[in-house]
Amino acid sequence: MPEQPAEERRKNFNEVALGYTKEDALAEASRCLSCKDPKCVEGCPVNVDIPGFIKLVCEEDFSGGAIERIKGTNALPAICGRVCPQETQCEALCVLGKKGQPVAIGRLERFCADYERQTGVKVPEVPEPTGKKVAVVGSGRRAYCRSRPCKTGGAQSHNF
Ligand code: SF4
């Protein structure tokens, strides 16, 4: 992933990593084999449809398709693409990692989230409350992501 040169980054507080360009993302996404039994998904704590969103990246459907596919189970793609330990989760189980480099799933996720932010984030519609309540135990990303479908389904969720 491209980075700020050391001489520049020592003078600012911006991110060191600059993120993928569109060309980088397309090249990396083209490495995915679209496995029938994708082990990478088993390694993801929120079970993102990884081959599904990567296929949409290959089709250059970044913000309409790929980011929506990720958000189906992960409400925090820009954060997870940056701070999740992919090397011990999804990427650790990528079949390509057995003989070489796994697909850079986190970097592709980050690219999709950043692309959406730069081109216009679609704020999900909030339906009328149904009056139902759901308790979600935990305050980590998995718990937060689990509470999102409740909200989009009209239920009120509370994290404990
Ligand atoms: S295991 Fe690797 S190659 Fe297979 S679908 Fe997942 S990211 Fe693609």
Mean pLDDT, rounded, for 51-77: 94
Is the CB of 101 inside a 6 Å radius of any atom of ligand 1? no
Distance (Å, whole) CA 158 – CA 156: 7
Give the closest residue to 66 by CA, choosing from 17, 15, 95, 26: 26
User: Ligand 1 pocket: which of 28, 31, 34, 107 to mutate (most atoms <8 Å of CB)?
Assistant: 34
Residue 157, strand partner residues: 134
Q: What is the CATH superfamily name and number for domain 6-119? A: Alpha-helical ferredoxin (1.10.1060.10)
The whole-angstrom separation of Cα 4 and Cα 16 is 5
- Confidence grade of residue 22 (pLDDT, cut at 50, 70, 90): very high
Q: Tokens 């997870």 belong to which residue?
A: 80
Domain extent listing, the chain: 6-119, 125-160
pLDDT at 137: 83
- Contact assessment for residue 21 and residue 62, using Cβ atoms and an 8 Å cutoff: no
Phi, psi of 104 (to 5 degrees): -80, 75
In short, whether 33's Cβ falls inside 6 Å of ligand 1 is: yes
Q: What is the pTM of this model?
A: 0.85
DSSP E strands, the chain? 133-136, 156-159
**pLDDT tier, 150 (very low <50, low <70, confident <90, very high otherwise):** low
Indicate whether residue 34 lines ligand 1 (CB < 6 A): yes
Both tokens assigned to 17? 């990593």
pLDDT reported for residue 8 = 95
Of 63-67, 107-111, 113-117, the one with minimum mean pLDDT is 63-67
Cβ(29)–Cβ(54) below 8 Å: yes
Query: How many angstroms separate the CA atoms of 54 and 58, rounded?
Result: 6
